Structure 1
Amino acid sequence: MGRLFIESLNGPKIFKCKCCKVDSASHDDIISKDFQGRYGRAYLFKNVIQFLPLPPSLQYVDFWVNISLGPNEDRHLMSGLHTVNDIYCSSCQQILGWRYDKENCPISDLEKAYEESEKYKEGLFILEKERMLKEGW
């Protein structure tokens, strides 16, 4: 196994993994607090911790630290069928939430048209409140 690199976020309000207390997201990246996860309330984020600036060779590649993504999975959520990736803490491997995949869509054209109102979620992240700690509040 390789060496684990952990990054820290700057800022007054940080979300951390509840299990191992590794930084996961900034309060500044919250889009909405009106979501439901597997374990209760969840927040929609425009980004989770991302190492910036990226080297030129990685500028157009999704590159995260402190989290890892699971495989694409079609999942029936409260808002319909979505292709998602589970988000895992890189340190303790606890599932923190999921990412709405922006490349793959559900197979049926009918479902794509039905889900048109949900397109805004593509590429965004859900973090479960139950799996997070707040620091600096």
Structure 2
Amino acid sequence: MGDLIGPRLYSCYKCRNPVALHDDIVSKGFQSKNGRAFLFSHAHNVLTGPKEDRQLMTGLHRVADIHCVDCREVLGWKYEKAYEESQKYKEGKVVLEKYKIVKENW
């Protein structure tokens, strides 16, 4: 076992800005149009774009794209509002696409 320098986290794949903690993962079972994605309770060092209604695989949601605060790359989206009762648990949470983030301190 190596010495861990801090918490296990995920960073932007382009600029290595830390954006989310492994401990904040709610689900690893999400899909985006580009492949697997993780649902996080929240993200750090990100900017939230304008809110818009978007038809996703699980129905209509109001979402906002999440951008890396350093390089402005779009990393995923934040659920602002879920219109279906069964999807309400996603509100306020963030989806980061797996191919857009890299593991640090593992």
Asked if Structure 1 and Structure 2 have the same fold, meaning a TM-score greater than 0.5 normalized by the shorter chain, the answer is yes
Cα contact 1:11–1:26 (8 A) shared by 2: no
Looking at structure 2, the residues matched to 118 and 36 of structure 1 have their Cα atoms a distance apart, in angstroms, of 15
Return 5+ residue gaps in structure 2 as ranges: none
Choose 1 or 2 for highest CA Rg: 1
Deviation for aligned residue 1:37: 1.3
Q: Does 1:79 align with 2:79?
A: no
* Structure with a larger share of its residues in strand: 2
Partner of residue 97, structure 2: 128
User: How far does residue 11 in structure 1 lie from its aligned partner after superposition?
Assistant: 3.1
Residue correspondences, number: 102
Q: Say if 2:35 is the partner of 1:29.
A: no
In structure 1, C-alpha distance between the alignment counterparts of 2:13 and 2:71, rounded to whole Å: 10
Q: Is the 8 A contact 1:85 1:98 kept in 2?
A: yes
Q: What amino acid is the match of 2:73?
A: Q
Which amino acid is 1:93 matched to? R
Distance between the aligned counterparts of 1:44 and 1:133, measured in 2?
Answer: 15
Whole-angstrom distance in 2 between the partners of 1:71 and 1:92: 18
User: TM-score, normalization: structure 2?
Assistant: 0.91
Whole-angstrom CA distance in 1 between matches of 2:6 and 2:52? 33
Number of the residue aligned with 1:39: 34
Deviations, residues 35-79 of structure 1 (Å, cap 9, x unaligned): 001321000000112xxxxxxxxxxxxxxxx21000011001010
Question: 1: CA distance between counterparts of 2:88 and 2:28?
Answer: 18
Q: TM-score, length-normalised on structure 1?
A: 0.71
2:70 to 86, 91, 108: 91
- 1:69 & 1:131 partners in 2: Cα distance? 16
Q: Which runs of 4+ in 1 moved over 6 A?
A: none
The CA RMSD measured in Å over matched residues stands at 1.3
Q: Percent identity?
A: 52
2: distance between equivalents of 1:91 and 1:38?
Answer: 24
